[in-house]
Structure 1
Amino acid sequence: MFKTLLAIAAAISTLSAQAEISTYQSLPKDYVGTINPNSFIEDEVTAGGFNELMKYVVAAPSQEDAGSCLYMSHTGVVEWWYNRLNNLEGDNKVDFAERYYMSLKTNKTNQDEIDNWRTDNIRRINKSSVMFSNKDYRFTKGNFKKVDGKRVVTDANDEDGSYGTQFNWIDLTDTIGKNAVEYKLPKFKREVLHVDADKDQWSVAKAPADIVERIKKALHKRNAPVLVIYNHKGFWHANYIFGYNDNADTKGCPFVSSFKPFMEEKRDYWLEKAEKTKSDSWRAKYLANAEKVMEKGDAVQKRYEEVGCASKGVFYVRDSIYPNENMPKYDYDLVKEGEEDFLNAPLIAREYAWVQTTLNHAIQIYPEGME
């Protein structure tokens, strides 16, 4: 089932096995379902659920291999708040620039206020409390290469260059047009619902027993989303939750039930590498990788067996790694053809066991004064 993804993994270095998720091309559809992508109408996923927050959600472009999930999620929550505070719905919603938030990270904006990047990144936007729309600073694709570990602009003829969404990490905010609208934002704060004791974004099976109820309570407390970080089958990943439905069928908990089998395939890949190499040092690294992936796989499976797969109950998730063929095509590069991809569905449903087994951080972002 995961052979294609493993083929991609074969080209990744040993350290990349613990990177932010980037093998987007062949991610299995390991979710319960997606909402009707053209309108937030009630269907088998949402009928009878807590649906109050979805009208301010904006679908994200696929991040592809940008490694930008934390900033896609933060941008999504900030635009959600802007749309809510200004009562913008439907075609009137503002689509903020993920690329602008990524530039804040590149420039280490407000870095002295970031004690734990897993929970504190909202403080970057507080430096100026300004945002731009995606129309004026587009999440794009471009030609880039790395020089001394830093991405720089290059051209299509550069043999050392690449083309893709990692281009968005290069700060080109000085190219934003003079007529671009500056959206004024409130100062934001965050409430930490859960933080891993070791500040480990790959941690599994350590979420508190009441994490599902904590998230639900937070959703109701401020009628606002919850941003989470979790282990996505060996990679860390971030997205945000904006609702839930206790009545929706979990369809066998597709994410959690496929976690250990996926890790077993990754283990077999590393064991095969260890068997073929003639280098003792590389063999030791490959064997260590095989052991690490199964530590995570076994831990998730053990917690899964403890909490079980409830027949009903899903969270509504906005994500950036599942382009949906029923959504409109997103044009990354306005001067190039053939690089387009579908937008993500605005709602992906995941079983509650997902956060019970793999979540390691959860925060709720909100404007000052809404404590």
Structure 2
Amino acid sequence: MESRRAMELIDAHLDGETLSDADAAALTEWIKQNEKQADDAFRRIFLHSYLRQRIQTLGLLPSIEGETTQPNLRQLDGGFDSPAPPTRAYRFTPTIVVLIFLAAILGGLMLPSVNSLPRTRRSAPFAYEGFDYAPYDAPVVENEWPTEGGLDGMNGGLGFSGAWVESGNLVSLIEANPSDHPWTPHDMRQFGMLGYSDRFGGILASSGNQLRTSAGPQSITSRRLDVTAAPASLLDGDAIGADGSSLWISFLTQSFDSSGDGRYAYLQLGQNNTGLRIGKLRTAPSGNWSVAAVTDGAELNLRSSDKPSGEGVLIVARIDFRPGAEQATIWINPDLNQPPDDAQSTLRLPTPDFRLDQISIAGRYSTDFDEIRLGANFRDVTPIAEKPASP
């Protein structure tokens, strides 16, 4: 579809005309093709909204009670709802075009440049890994854990500058159905795939399979970030961590059980073995989900929650980069409907000054990880799945 035709269809939709199923599907695919086309579509929508608001302000068009000027759109991934036009929608007819220019002459209305229009940024992580790779299809036996392969060379997701690299003496695996590989009746993961639903029924969007760390010492699975995919406000040279910025991270995780005593499996953020570790930590004897700062590979400032690591959880973290020490705030199983307050956080700790250009998942006690997201705000890393329509 040509851009001109796409804009015509958007205008028609905003004017209350019903798009055909074919046109609605074609327009949805055009928007999804690339970021520029998505931005062009949203700018067009807000141009209509801006002009209508200004015309009403000048008194040239009365507001109609109960009228809506919002486009009848689903989220970008869902597309256009072709059968249902906006309620009592406003139409940009040739007469209204004349009114716009009349307003410009009589009321001093200056039509805005595209850059001055309200901008909308679709909530989305700049880095995402859902581990949608082919699963490991052989029996998983602790004493025969694979030593080659794993995720090495796998290059899915988005926001990374290269593929996953395995550097441990054992490798991680891709698990598609945890009930296929229960080591013992006590393996807490056998009840299903990782997922999360909050107390209001909001369900975290998820897809694909999940990563499983090794059961013995040790798997280390690392991947470089494409830092240019992050917002410019987060960047400090060739890494993430500009003072005054905040980075949000989320992921799902669950361990074989809640044993501590040196057993570990964690997500590490940082570079040069300095940064932040979140997960099941070797220095947490309780075996509960914990967080610690890392300097030269050593864990310090350990904080432990009351959540056992054998329990599947959604972990959300915010790193506030500051001059000197950074501040990390962790929430376990937060509500998804709005950003949580700091007062509701599960754990908080200062960390050494660090920058971020890669993530690593290390383990020596088989633990599953999934849905890793990095973003500039809470909504970027906690998308809520659309509920299926009622029959």
Structure with greater strand percent: 2
Asked whether the two chains share a fold, i.e. TM above 0.5, the reply is: no
Using CA pairs below 8 Å that are at least 6 residues apart, which structure has the higher relative contact order?
Answer: 1
Q: Which structure has more helix as a fraction of its residues?
A: 1
After TM superposition, the score normalised by the length of structure 1 is 0.22
